[in-house]
Amino acid sequence: MIVGSGGREHCLAWKVSQSKLVDKIYCAPGNGGMSEIGECVPLESLPDLVSFAQEEKIDLTLVGPEAPLSQGIVDLFEDRSLPIIGPDQRGALLESSKIFAKNFMEKYRIPTASFETFDDYNDAVDYLKKRDTYPLVIKADGLAGGKGVYITYDVDEAIDALGELMVDLKFGNAGERVVIEDFLEGEEATMMVLWDGKSCFLLPSSQDHKRVGEGDIGPNTGGMGAYSPAPVIDEIVRGKVEKNIVHPLLEGIKKEELKYRGVIYLGIMVDKKKEPWVLEFNVRLGDPETQVVLPRINNDWLEVNLAIWEGKLSEVKFSVSDFPVLGVVLASKGYPGNYEIGKKISGLEKFPNRIDDEVLVFHAGTEKGDDGFYTAGGRVLNVCARGKTLREAKDKVYRAITEIHFENVYYRRDIGFRAIGEK
């Protein structure tokens, strides 16, 4: 069973469906694309998911988004001996509480921006007034759908941000406590680590494009495109990530006795001196990074996850394709603000997502109707392609996009600009 309904989950379903070990895939709740691969079941609450897994004797559950993990889906499944990959609720604090994550990084000497934490608005304001080095970054402690982070350039802006978080409670109780940290300059990248409690494997690097506008301007989104590998993570930086971040992180997870089996996502800033710093941890695969990383993994993804479940990850021989993959999100105009749904999508029949196809189209906010697919969300499709080079992959993606259409489609035309060096 795959829990979730986005592009990441469609990609997971696509990858798992290629396994010789799989008989049947359930998607809870899934999306239009996932309904072509497995059976979509309209379940979202944890009690419903657990009962369903018990009744259907689900052999393995993979969870896409952070919400069920932070609500304790793994604890519930494990109490009933139902196999599931992911951290328990305490382990999920690495993502669901920025204060927990920052204290953890401090304790285990993982490089991250210097910080202070506050649960009192007036104390935080006093601190902001004393600081004379801006920008400063103010973050809601709890989950805020990626929107609870403010980069502020002077004390007035910082106090406004604090007011939104701690007084107006714009993100509910997620903002009752805050982290205030130093601003780090550099280039961001993503590293995802598989971990079975004993050994780890670093998936290939990738880079997301979080802002809605070309050149990385405008509001943050769930991600407008990605590519893998990210050249900013060269061999030297990768070595530093492994030694300075992954090793102490995994030591810390063991020492703190976090029950953790699954993926650890590292949001990394690489500074001018090529030193990697942790911006954030996520306790799951990234979206849209998964859609460009998984097509590069030649292994059977179900076998990999069963090995994680059994604590035998060290026995897996990984094979990673040298071909880069780049993916562009087709969104509904207006996203991440208001947008219309229910638009007919045309051209998808040209992209059947066969295992060796150069272009792969993963669905996010889509629904299957009697006569084809319709838009059902802000981010609608991920159009991905492999190429001998990133440049070639990018050209293939943008060529494929000309064959797909829905009313009011919006997408960035510059995905990959940092690596390819052009818009």
Select the residue whose beta carbon is closest to ligand AMP and give its number. 280
Q: How far is the CB of 51 from ligand GLY (least distance, A)?
A: 29
Residue 113 found at the interface with ligand AMP (CB under 6 A): yes
Selection from 54, 33, 340 nearest residue 43 by Cα: 54
Considering the rule CB under 6 A, would residue 149 count as an interface residue with ligand AMP?
yes
Q: Which does 72 bind (CB under 5 to 8 A by kind): ligand AMP, ligand GLY, none?
A: none
Sequence-distant (≥ 6) Cβ neighbours of residue 286 within 8 angstroms: 8, 190, 192, 206, 208, 223, 226, 265
Look up residue 295 and give its DSSP letter: G
Residue of the chain from 134, 183, 309, 417 that contacts ligand AMP (CB under 6 A)? 183
How many C-beta atoms lie closer than 10 Å to residue 154's C-beta? 11
Query: By rule CB under 6 A, what string of x and - marks binding of each residue 191-230 to ligand AMP?
Result: -------------------x--------------------
Stretch that binds ligand AMP, among 9-17, 46-54, 153-161, 179-187 (CB under 6 A): 179-187
- Determine if the peptide bond prior to 135 is cis (ω within 30°): yes
Minimal distance, residue 27 CB to ligand GLY, in Å: 19
Binding flag, residue 102, ligand AMP (CB under 6 A): no
Residues in the chain: 423
Residue 283 Cβ vs ligand AMP, minimum distance, rounded to whole Å: 13
Q: Which residues contact 397 (CB under 8 A, 6 or more apart)?
A: 326, 327, 328, 359, 383, 384, 385, 415
The answer to whether 152 contacts ligand GLY (rule: CB under 6 A) is no
Paired residues of 166 in beta bridges: none
Rank residues 50 and 140 by Cβ distance to ligand GLY and give the closer one: 140
Cβ contacts of residue 57 below 8 Å, gap of 6+?
Answer: none
User: Which span sits near ligand AMP by CB under 6 A: 166-174, 178-186, 318-326, 366-374?
Assistant: 178-186
Q: What is the rounded CA–CA span in Å between residue 22 and residue 3?
A: 16
Q: How far apart are CA 225 and CA 122, in angstroms?
A: 39
Q: Which residues contact 67 (CB under 8 A, 6 or more apart)?
A: 143
Indicate the DSSP class of residue 300: -
Strands 84-87 and 61-63, by their bridges, are parallel
Stretch in the footprint of ligand AMP (CB under 6 A) among 32-40, 85-93, 182-190, 322-330: 182-190
The binder of ligand AMP chosen from 50, 74, 184, 241 (CB under 6 A) = 184
In the complex, least distance from residue 130 CB atom to ligand AMP, rounded to whole angstroms: 19
If contact means CB under 5 to 8 A according to the sort of partner, which of ligand AMP, ligand GLY, none does residue 286 touch? ligand GLY
Cα-based distances in Å from 162 to 103, 132, 138, 154, 206: 21, 17, 7, 12, 32
- Report the C-alpha gap between 209 and 188 in whole angstroms: 9
Scanning the structure block, which residue is given the tokens 């669901």?
A: 96
Count of residues touching ligand GLY (by CB under 6 A)? 6
Q: Does position 410 bind ligand AMP by CB under 6 A?
A: no
Cβ 244 to ligand AMP, closest distance in Å? Answer: 17
Which of residues 137, 161, 224, 264 is near ligand AMP by CB under 6 A? 137
Q: Say which entry of ligand AMP, ligand GLY, none residue 137 contacts (CB below 5 to 8 A, set by partner kind).
A: ligand AMP
Under 8 Å between Cβ of 136 and 152: yes
| Spatial CA neighbour of 376 closest among 1, 2, 3, 10 | 10
Contact flag: residue 95 with ligand AMP (CB under 6 A) = no
Nearest-approach distance from CB 58 to ligand GLY, in angstroms: 25
- Whichever of 283 and 404 has its CB closer to ligand AMP, that residue is 283
CA 251 distance to own-chain centroid:
23
d(CA 310, CA 198): 11
What is the nearest approach in angstroms of ligand GLY to the Cβ of residue 263? 11
Look-up of token digits 């998911």: 49
**Choice between 188 and 289, CB closer to ligand AMP:** 188
Instruction: Look at residues 98, 60, 64 and name the one whose alpha carbon lies nearest to residue 77.
Output: 60
Min dist. Cβ of residue 347 to ligand GLY (A): 26
Q: Which residues bind ligand AMP (CB under 6 A)?
A: 113, 137, 139, 146, 149, 151, 181, 183-184, 188, 210, 267, 279-280
Chain positions contacting ligand GLY, by CB under 6 A? 208, 223, 282, 286-287, 289
